[in-house]
Copies of this chain bind each other. A is one copy, B any other.
Amino acid sequence: MKNTFGSSVALTIFGESHGSAIGAVLDGLAPGIPVDEEFIASQMDKRRAAGALSTARHEADKVRIVSGVFGGKTTGTPITFIIENQDTRSRDYGELAYKARPGHADFTAQEKYHGFQDFRGGGHFSGRITAGIVAAGAVALTALRAKGIQIGTHILSCGGVWDRTFDNYKEDISRLSELEFAVLDDEKAEQMKAEILRAKQNSDSVGGRLETAVTGFPAGVGEPWFDTIESVLSHGLFSIPAVKGVEFGSGFACADMNGSVCNDCFSGGESITSATNNSGGILGGITSGMPIVFRIAVKPTPSIYKEQQTIDMRTGQTTTLTINGRHDPAIVHRARVVADSITALTLCDQLALRYGTDWLADIK
């Protein structure tokens, strides 16, 4: 489906960057889950990432919940999140109405929507639309946490600077939940920020990698074909704008290993574990009970201030474009909370499909 993701727990998103409001409808989440508006607000703040590293556009991103919550808890019916757009500068979009920004969806939108798309600020393709995902994801994260399932994402690399990988999953995830700039190694965090600012000064932008871990997730969830856990997670993750790669466990590095190295040997006893986790917690498409671990590649923000060659969509002829406006020199630090949210929503769906719609509910 188009703007709906998930089957038993499903998210529908809507809105345009410079429309009157954006938002999301989260359907199928179990009843009785506490809706913590403060936590939602804090997740929205992490996505906004106000400051020198991000866009100068100022949006309060205040979330109004208009349905599906009663007495502070989910009812089990659709939860609707509405976020009004406020700082949408009324102005002449000029040549952006017909010149395709390189790296953006302007040209492909034109091919799909024949000129009827709202082109202002990227319209429905804008990263701003992820705000609805983050609001809904906050409720999903709360539901999972109550079941002992924790999700955390850090910036593994940005502008060529690399963070350390996960060490102690639980501690690291807990720490990440408090960080605004999600890097485990403080020194590397500062170096990354410096790289982002340097790109900004150069009228350029940088990309990066995110690494996500999920702990406490039960074994036996997922399907052997088509709806493998890798399939459904990647389906969601590749919806995040700018994501161009997803790998699980050792991912592409597996391709260079021998089987004797890549295989995670099981250990028994109180619980079934493995010393290595090259599989990223997924075997045959089904969770093994080991932490689910994956990495995604985020391309550099396509909006840069350098002059670029492009086409005039009215004539199909080559021309040049210099973008003005308010843009991020990097989005990897903002995308991190979107990755957490998509992961939480996807896993809630898988749990509901496997164990039923009440599994996440707070029923005695």
Contacts and interface: CB of A to CB of B under 8 A. Distances in A.
Interface stretch (A12-20, A54-62, A173-181): A12-20
Nearest to A20: B66
Q: How many copies does the complex hold?
A: 4
A78 B28 CA distance: 20
Interface string A347-364: 000000111111101010
A54 to B, nearest CB: 15
A306 B260 contact: yes
A interface, size bucket: 35 or more
Contact of A246 (B82, B160, B245, B267): B245
Interface string A94-112: 0000001011110111011
A236 interface: yes
A128 to B, nearest CB: 12
Nearest to A210: B255
Nearest to A232: B235
A163 interface: no
A193 to B, nearest CB: 16
29 contacts: A2-B28, A2-B226, A3-B225, A12-B12, A12-B27, A14-B27, A14-B67, A20-B66, A31-B114, A67-B124, A68-B124, A70-B117, A75-B123, A76-B112, A102-B266, A103-B283, A104-B283, A112-B286, A199-B258, A231-B234, A234-B246, A244-B254, A244-B280, A245-B247, A257-B299, A265-B308, A266-B311, A266-B318, A356-B359
